[in-house]
Homo-oligomer: A and B are copies of this chain.
Amino acid sequence: MSSSHTPIKVGIVGGTGYTGVELLRLLSQHPNVKLTAITSRKESGVLVADMYPNLRGKVDLAFCTPEQANLTSCDVVFFATPHGVAMSQAKELLAANVKIIDLAADFRLQDTAVFEHWYKMPHACPDILADSVYGLPELNREAIAGAKVVGNPGCYPTTVLLGLAPLLKPNVLIDTKDIIADSKSGVSGAGRGASVGSLFSEVSDSFKAYGVSGHRHHPEIKAQLDLLANASVNLTFVPHLVPMVRGMLSTLYVKLLPGAQGVDLQALYEHFYANETFVDVMPAGSLPETRSVRASNQLRLALHRPPGHPDRLIVLAIQDNLVKGASGQAVQNMNLMFGLPEATGLSQVAILP
């Protein structure tokens, strides 16, 4: 456990993207963290605060090369990189007793064949993968606390899994062969890479579905749902792009089985998440807005029984895709891995309006 006298030495690999700057925002305000290095081969030498002026006066580090970073002297390294980077450096870091939290997909999928199919690369360290933990604290808290390597979940999976988990555990409540996740995300989920499809003039004042014929988060969600349900589920997953920067809402449609009759589903959810700081089960019938979690680590859920469909249950799940859907959850995982109170450094109130 970290005391106030020995802060956690943190390195960040690839801090130039949106999950990187969000990590910097959170970690620079974390009372138990000392940021020691942020790598970017391309921006090496550039002050972090010159690239991200919101950090002026808050972070005085410059980006450095991996060689300069001396990451093996850190206590933990976050990878805010493209897929494939963390797995290529994991072995060396683990040998130096450095913990790893990967915000990309290298440690999310235990089935390497599935990983290789969707990410178009062989997995570099199946043995390390086998020992890694899927970093969804509300479902895997104990394993994360003891993990050396955590695969931080994808943004969409976080909403779908936390939105459905209470229904799957009992296993007789819903038809696991008939699950639909109609998800909507802000544009920051596409990252900071220069691409025509993410230009303001392309996405502003417009709306579309994408990835309908197959999205990388589909196998990730399905794998975890299968584990929760102890069965192979059928999942339809359709992501959509919303002209907003941050925020994600998943509208989850499930079919209740006769076993759900008489079950107080609202109470089930409230009980399931009763001790969770970051999951807010709103009163039944609530209409959560993504702005109510903007820049915070909260995820909010609301249950609905719609008219016109007797056996239908709808779960609405919202989060900030960059916080609970990425960097905030990564810090939550770090807190667990170092024995800190889980909410340390994550108590910010959401920004509204």
Contact = CB atoms under 8 A, between A and B. Distances in A.
Contact of A54 (B198, B237, B310, B351): B351
A247 B243 CA distance: 12
Contacts of A218: 307-308
Contact of A199 (B192, B289, B307): B192
Interface residues of A, number: 89
A262 interface: no
A304 to B, nearest CB: 5
Given A251-B238, A295-B351, A199 B194 contact: yes
A130 to B, nearest CB: 25
A253 interface: yes
A54 B290 contact: no
Contacts of A89: none
Contacts of A234: 308-310
Interface stretch (A67-75, A101-109, A209-217): A209-217
A316 to B, nearest CB: 6
A201 B198 contact: yes
Copy number in the complex reads 4
B192 A201 contact: yes
A340 interface: no
Interface in A226-282: 234-238, 240, 242-247, 249, 251, 253, 280, 282
A329 to B, nearest CB: 17
A188 B351 CA distance: 13
Interface in A325-353: 347-353
21 contacts: A18-B201, A25-B349, A53-B289, A53-B300, A54-B351, A56-B300, A180-B180, A188-B201, A192-B196, A194-B196, A202-B353, A205-B244, A206-B244, A208-B249, A208-B287, A212-B316, A214-B307, A218-B308, A236-B312, A237-B308, A238-B251
Given A192-B202, A348-B348, 8 more contacts: A29-B347, A29-B348, A29-B349, A192-B201, A204-B205, A205-B246, A218-B308, A243-B244
